[in-house]
Structure 1
């Protein structure tokens, strides 16, 4: 194995204003610990309290969705890995990005949902959230009510962005990006 150039990695993280980066299997306790670190980073960065709350909420929603998806699928620790990055963009917005393996069809469905939400303004997102909240929940379904993605879109200052990169065995790597 080649030696990892940590200095070069640090330089790249600094240049891209990456505050937090995680790659690997994710568990409930790890989500909590990284969340605590994120809160500390946001506090040290003097984030506005409402922005800090939104960044934290989006991080939690994304990582819990990844953990839940892998658990429902019964995937191994290796398959259930996540890549999570919290950074700043050129305008100073916080950017929360998360990615994980998914069944390709599930990834396509999420891409469509993100695309549908991207065309909505804040008022329409609020209405969609309330509409989804009133829908009866199917007890047979293993997925959530769909509120989480809408809530992420509501907290975002720009439309959500998602991509799906095909990988082996009918799966893809799904990436979701929210700008707060």
Structure 2
């Protein structure tokens, strides 16, 4: 395995993540895992619009938000857990969006970020994760959170895309405090 490529953005937060990005489990011989992946890909093909081929704003992934909402996910998380999940966290959404975009023929890489957040946001998120019985280790401090996004190699240039917010990273928010692109 090649060590991860790192690129630092201004001030390095105190707690920099040291684990690889999230990966969904695929159970051996699990029909539901295979069916879920097939359903997601078939649904994406059914949603095809001419705009999605060149739309680097949303990559035509708006349909994901008709089925899934962002929120706490219990890990380990498997492909067969996706259909019944009330919420998907950024790691699950990055896995699903990455699989869909790769199936379309785009080259996609996983990127880890540390972003700024308001104290009110982190307090709300901690309460949501606690109520769901999920660890909130991704909340690094009252003002810093860990996040997973995608680097999509699109034309005319690569796009740092956030499938959780369905937009390019940096639109409407400050630039990440820290980021690392994982190369496999």
Same fold judged by TM-score > 0.5?
Answer: no
Tell me the TM-score normalised to structure 2 length: 0.29
Say which structure, 1 or 2, has more relative contact order (CA 8 Å, 6+ apart): 2
When normalised by structure 1's length, the TM-score is 0.29
